[in-house]
A = this chain, B = another copy of it.
């Protein structure tokens, strides 16, 4: 039964307020990977943590912070939604290696090495040239491995991602992207990348963001589940999970911030275009977090076993994080 499972959404950046926390609880989701920052510096990241501390203080009947997987099980038991944090970019560490551990202690469990553009660590998926992992990037990967911070390459370019998989002594993830073979977007991932990633114990979270899906906002639940089934045949269901990329109730200015940060004077449209600059239309079967229940059903209907579905809907994230968050001895 859906309500008995551990359900994990491996990426959201919604408009966080009490009404939304209520809707999360109602949806039956156990834990959500929340994007804490996109382009914020170390100092600005502290303010985001402070805002979330206030959310936790004022909504303690609905949400709880997650530092370990015990917190996820405890959230489930208490009927609350666990929240764990990731950064979609390496901006929280500025240019300082020591901030990896500082941010990890504050609860930044996951960090992307790049967000679309070249970063101090590696190359993003929208750059023309992918020069791979930088000198600083190698140090940061080693430090993330040491302190138990998860490396996420969702918005990184091909070569950088392959190098990160190789350089990391621990499995890494792509928290929210789909196979290029299903839909050829710059943000999606090649067979070579997914094979390398999963071959080293890594995890792929399927994205529900229409720009990442075959037929965009018209992608059917069946087509989505077929994409997952194909990936399970190719890479093994135990490496698959969900990262919805849901940006519920967010205004256009947030989309602009995600795409442009402070780096562009002219508007960059990211996966959209000048004539299609807004948020994509929602999938009818995934309008919000409640849609996870449709996916649960859809995956069973397409032939996944109960255990496989429980894995993809949450247990695979839990197992992956449990191993990855433990600091090295």
Contacts and interface: CB of A to CB of B under 8 A. Distances in A.
Contacts of A98: 47, 49-51, 53-54
15 contacts: A43-B43, A46-B46, A46-B96, A46-B99, A47-B96, A47-B98, A50-B97, A50-B99, A50-B101, A50-B102, A53-B98, A53-B101, A54-B98, A102-B106, A105-B107
Contact of A106 (B42, B53, B97, B105): B105
Interface string A87-106: 00000000011110110011
Contacts of A105: 105-107
A83 B293 CA distance: 49
A43 B53 CA distance: 18
A98 B46 CA distance: 9
Nearest to A41: B43
Interface in A100-125: 101-102, 105-107
The 7 A-B residue pairs with the shortest CB-CB distance, nearest first, are A50-B98, A43-B43, A53-B101, A46-B102, A49-B102, A50-B102, A42-B46
A149 to B, nearest CB: 13
Nearest to A49: B102
Interface in A35-66: 42-43, 46-47, 49-51, 53-54
Given A42-B46, A49-B102, A53-B102, 16 more contacts: A46-B46, A46-B96, A46-B99, A46-B102, A47-B96, A47-B98, A49-B98, A50-B96, A50-B97, A50-B99, A50-B102, A51-B98, A53-B98, A54-B98, A102-B106, A105-B107
